[in-house]
Structure 1
Amino acid sequence: MSDSVLFERVAVPGGQVLGLATLNRPQALNGLDLEMCRLLLTQLQTWAQDESVALVILRGAGDKAFCAGGDLHALYAGMQANQGGQPWDNQYAREFFDIEYRLDYLIHTYPKPVLCWGDGIVMGGGVGLFNGASHRVVTDSTRFAMPEIAIGLFPDVGGTWMLARLPAGVGHFLALSGAQINAGDCLFLGLADAFLPYRAFPALLDALTQQDWQGKREQLDRRLYAVIDQVRGSAHAALGPLERHYAQLRALCAGRDFERITQGLLAWHDSSDPWLARASQTFAKGSPGSARLSHALLERVRHLSLADVFRLEYIVSLQCGVQGDFQEGIRALLIDKDKQPRWNPDSLEKADAQWVTRFFQPSWPAGMDHPLADLGRSMGEAAV
């Protein structure tokens, strides 16, 4: 059996156990590949039905990252192997995004508490896992971002759903700039639930194992927060750069106008504030197509259910494998490493509202149901 994800059952008083899942590819910053997603999905489904499992804990091995995203090398190989050039012909992509999005949706709707230890890098696919947990813990080493504009993709894994619900259009800024935020900002925006020092995980796990975890879900949720507070003591998260600049971001992004936001971002290119300057420079170097696509998605998903958002993202992700800059972005960053992507279109003006409509066309055979049609059906949700 693969050791890319490690699963443990940790005994607690009362005869129950804690299910501990550890992403175990620290050399790759715990980036998710298809196998890891399958392992996690299968085990979490099993634990959901196992009455002896009281709650689930997700963490990453090593001290650098919870999860830095998806396995871009594997996705690139899948795009290279797709000689036909049709989105549905990319077998790896359609399987990977299917399983990954099912996994993320399962965490969002999990019947038991899920504590996610968001230490170190939490980006891309890592945000997908983290965002759905009931108890999202950040630390003083947390670096949280959705930096897909730098590789020609968009904030998927439910990222569009998450960002579209942030106040004052701040999600548009995060999507277009790929800006990194810290634990304080995550708490400020409601993207995390609690803070602990980065060295506190052993103490947290020890405290959790001293508790009797029998009871109703609401009781377990409260007990879990109480344990976190006990371990935290007087520690607190530092003020984040986004909170410091919140008034400026609110003024720029309120109204969610694409041209206004992009012009404002570019104007910060030489800002005296390093965080604003980096956000502007990342945007300026990023894919114009990704900027337009991300903005269009954030507008489309505002009133969709979570299941419908995953279904829409699935359509767009497959199209990104052939229509957009995803392959070129990975090539420039990770394959040739020249950091000189040749974006197409190469300007914001060319990536207009009409151009972006190509990404919203389903690519599976006629007469076939959406591959994620069953998500949320138990709650009466309709598919896109």
Structure 2
Amino acid sequence: MTTHDDSAPVLFEERGAAGGRRIGIATLNAPRTLNGFSLQMAHLLDAQLQRWAEDVGIALVLLQGAGEKAFCAGGDLHSLYRSMLEYREAGQQDIRANAYAGEFFEVEYRLDHRIHTFPRPVLCWGHGIVMGGGIGLMSGASHRVVSERSKLAFPEITVGLFPDVGGSWLLNRVPDGAGRFLALTGAMLSPADAIHAGLADVQLPEASRADVLEALERTEWSASSKEAGAQLDAVLASFALTPEPGPLQRHAAAIAAACEGEVLEDIVAAISAMPSADEPWLATAQATMAAGAPGSLRLGFELQRRAEGMSLAEVFRMEYVVALHCAAHGDFAEGIRALLIDKDRTPRWNPAELARADGEWAATFLREPDWPGGTHPLADLVDTH
């Protein structure tokens, strides 16, 4: 089964492997927008993954992006922006009233969770830019590849959101408490740092992608998901590189010291005070934090705290509520306006100071509405491993 319409937002293909089983290939196909992840993409990919999950002939799934620049640079913010304007112009108060945002985040988070719990190996080739929604897709894959040009980040602070798509869960698992640093600064991760942070598993040369696929086709895949995973490990290991440590690792001790403690203002001050005159990566991280939305600083910090001890499914349910609040009355629309619509890069954040974005303020973003039938839209998500 192959998608013959090359203009389709996601291309689907199946290739035979030794022994008669098949490899499902899904390619995000919007290279002009750096494979910005749209609601249509999410629906198509989720439906196909459900079909492949039920097809015992599928040995594994390969998820990749078209073009040379990005696997996926994030979500389709233009459509979300239009929905937020319509919601606000209509004078709506109920966060459920933005039907588009509700559907977008529900389908996206449900898809991300499906990848995390997929019954067979999923190989994600995270080449080029992988940010925001792209990390949501990649993070759940059982085998996550970066190549020499991969750049990963949670840049939500620049648009008035927070590290969603399970980011509150993922960032809690970054070594040495550096997940806080990544949420507060939107710092870019090199391939080596992405692996160190637990957001990728192995670095392969970008030029080897076709050879890797040929190796997958030559493999006689086990019907056992665990054994198939080990087979995939072996294939990738035969192409793997040993990357040089990146700046996140080089500054690990200083980042850990800056991010310890439970007072956000102290952490922000400590990150700001880190010597960065000879480290452009750190200087950029500090500047991004200083220019970002104070509300995003608070939300990213609070959600990581609340996510401690939560299951992945519980985190997706929590993030869904907060995302709807951000779409309804937070800085999300203003951040998109400044970055992508008017492009003046002078967002008017509200609150404008971190002191006003305190814990009480953040708590308003966690208030659940009255769901129809009293059931959260993601109530059926169950973690299987």
Name the amino acid aligned to 1:285: A
Tell whether 2:33 aligns with 1:28.
yes
Contact 1:203 1:231 in 2 (8 A): no
Contact 2:176 2:252 in 1 (8 A): no
Distance 2:33 2:311 in 1: 33
DSSP 3-state at the match of 1:322: helix
Name the amino acid aligned to 2:217: T
Name the amino acid aligned to 1:204: V
Paired position in structure 2 for 1:183:
191
Per-residue displacement from partner, 1:77-113 (whole Å, max 9, x unpaired)? 1101112333111011000001000000000000000
Distance 1:14 1:80 in 2: 54
Paired position in structure 2 for 1:85:
92
Paired position in structure 2 for 1:241:
247
| Structure-to-structure mapping, 1:1-384, within 5 angstroms | 3-82=8-87, 83-86=90-93, 87-232=95-240, 235-268=241-274, 271-365=277-371, 367-376=373-382
Q: Which runs of 4+ in 1 moved over 3 A?
A: 268-271, 364-367
Name the amino acid aligned to 1:36: M
Name the amino acid aligned to 1:91: A
Structure 2 vs 1, CA of residues 168 and 319 (structure 1 numbering), >3 Å: closer, same or farther?
A: same
| TM-fit CA distance, 1:265 | 2.2
Identity of aligned residues (%): 51
| TM-fit CA distance, 1:255 | 2.8
Distance 1:376 1:247 in 2: 36
Structure 2 vs 1, CA of residues 208 and 374 (structure 1 numbering), >3 Å: closer, same or farther?
A: same
Distance 2:381 2:335 in 1: 30
DSSP 3-state at the match of 1:371: coil
| TM-fit CA distance, 1:267 | 2.2
Distance 1:163 1:279 in 2: 16
DSSP 3-state at the match of 2:27: strand
Distance 1:377 1:305 in 2: 7
Per-residue displacement from partner, 1:148-182 (whole Å, max 9, x unpaired)? 00000000000110001223321110000000011
DSSP 3-state at the match of 2:23: strand
Contact 1:14 1:214 in 2 (8 A): no
Per-residue displacement from partner, 1:118-163 (whole Å, max 9, x unpaired)? 1111100000011000001111111000000000000000011000
Name the amino acid aligned to 1:92: Y
Structure 2 vs 1, CA of residues 338 and 315 (structure 1 numbering), >3 Å: closer, same or farther?
A: same
Name the amino acid aligned to 1:15: G
Distance 1:85 1:144 in 2: 36
| TM-score (structure 2 length as normaliser) | 0.95
DSSP 3-state at the match of 1:18: strand
Distance 2:31 2:85 in 1: 26
Paired position in structure 2 for 1:382:
none
Name the amino acid aligned to 1:23: L
Name the amino acid aligned to 1:300: R
Count of paired positions: 377
| TM-fit CA distance, 1:360 | 0.3
Name the amino acid aligned to 2:98: N
| TM-fit CA distance, 1:257 | 3.1
Contact 2:117 2:383 in 1 (8 A): no
When structure 1 is superposed on structure 2, of 188-197 and 71-80 the one drifting more is 188-197
DSSP 3-state at the match of 1:70: coil
Structure 2 vs 1, CA of residues 284 and 201 (structure 1 numbering), >3 Å: closer, same or farther?
A: same
DSSP 3-state at the match of 1:9: strand
Per-residue displacement from partner, 1:174-220 (whole Å, max 9, x unpaired)? 00000001110112222211110122111111111111113311211
Distance 2:258 2:343 in 1: 33
DSSP 3-state at the match of 2:310: coil
Distance 1:366 1:50 in 2: 33
DSSP 3-state at the match of 1:231: coil
Distance 2:275 2:43 in 1: 42
| TM-score (structure 1 length as normaliser) | 0.95
Contact 2:61 2:121 in 1 (8 A): yes
Distance 1:120 1:322 in 2: 32
DSSP 3-state at the match of 2:71: strand
Per-residue displacement from partner, 1:243-283 (whole Å, max 9, x unpaired)? 01111101111234312211012224863311111000000
Name the amino acid aligned to 2:36: G
DSSP 3-state at the match of 2:62: strand
| TM-fit CA distance, 1:323 | 2.1
Distance 2:250 2:280 in 1: 13
Contact 2:261 2:267 in 1 (8 A): no
Distance 2:308 2:40 in 1: 32
For structure 2, the 5+ residue unaligned runs are none
DSSP 3-state at the match of 2:239: helix
Contact 1:169 1:255 in 2 (8 A): no
Per-residue displacement from partner, 1:12-41 (whole Å, max 9, x unpaired)? 111111000000000000011100000000
Distance 1:256 1:202 in 2: 47
Contact 1:266 1:280 in 2 (8 A): yes
| TM-fit CA distance, 1:326 | 0.2
Distance 1:281 1:69 in 2: 21
| TM-fit CA distance, 1:11 | 0.9
Distance 1:50 1:221 in 2: 17
